[in-house]
Amino acid sequence: MSDNFKKLSKDVKDNFNKEGGYFQTVLDLGYAEWNSDNENVKDYDEMIEWVRENYGDFAAMVVLVGKYNHQVCNGGHLQYWDNGYASHGGGCFTRHGEDIYLHDKMVEWMKTYKLDIATELTTKVYEIMKEFKVEIDDEEYTEETCFECGGSGEMADYDDPENDEYIACSECEGFGSTDERNENYGQPYSNWDSLDTRYYEVNEKWEKYMEKFIKHAVENR
């Protein structure tokens, strides 16, 4: 057993969460440091790095999987991304962008510990996680057909009722279109509803599997 696993085993035993089990206990170890006075562990990604340095990659993966599970079960992959847990954990109302490096690291560690092929269940979960990608709408303005002239670029001269000729539309200045603020600017194009549905179909079995998987790893490695 490596020194990391020895420390993890000891601290899990010393701080065991009887109600939450092994899965929650490992998460608790990370959360406790995150909520401590440690100036180097103020953000989510710093907490993950602290867990990795003190308990190893396995424990860091468990914490990432646990937070992924909590967020997706609570509000889908959109909440998971919007709250920043796929990246640095900056919280909601922050433009997290397309970089989901913590999520990608979780997927990488899943493969390291053979969870991509261990069972049919773990393979399903791995594939769901692997398919999660982010593509951001970076168009601040969109070109829309002018509502005033219907796209023709011309309109009647209302200031001169006797003028039978059309003049350039005052709304679009004769272009037939206007630039409108894109309400989805900075938000993901992706529709993750199908990933949510697939995950909800297996998450309870997945949680039970992870509990046994973590127990075996902590007690026997």
Per-residue model confidence (pLDDT) at position 127:
98
- At position 152, the amino acid (one-letter code) is S
Amino acid letter, residue 199: Y
Q: What are phi and psi of 144, to 5 degrees?
A: -120, 150
* Structure token pair of residue 202: 């297996």
- The pTM of the full predicted model, rounded to 2 decimals, is 0.80
Radius of gyration from C-alpha coordinates of the chain: 26
Q: How confident is the model at residue 91 (pLDDT cuts 50, 70, 90)?
A: low
> Quick one: pLDDT band at residue 3, thresholds 50, 70, 90?
confident
pLDDT tens, residue by residue, 129-154: 999 999 877 777 878 899 889 889 88
Write out pLDDT tens, residues 173-191: 888 898 888 777 777 777 7
Q: What average pLDDT does this structure show over 102-124?
A: 97
Handedness of CA 59, 62, 68, 69 (dihedral sign): negative
Q: What is the pLDDT of residue 142?
A: 78
180 Cβ neighbours under 8 A, 6+ residues apart: 141, 142, 143, 144
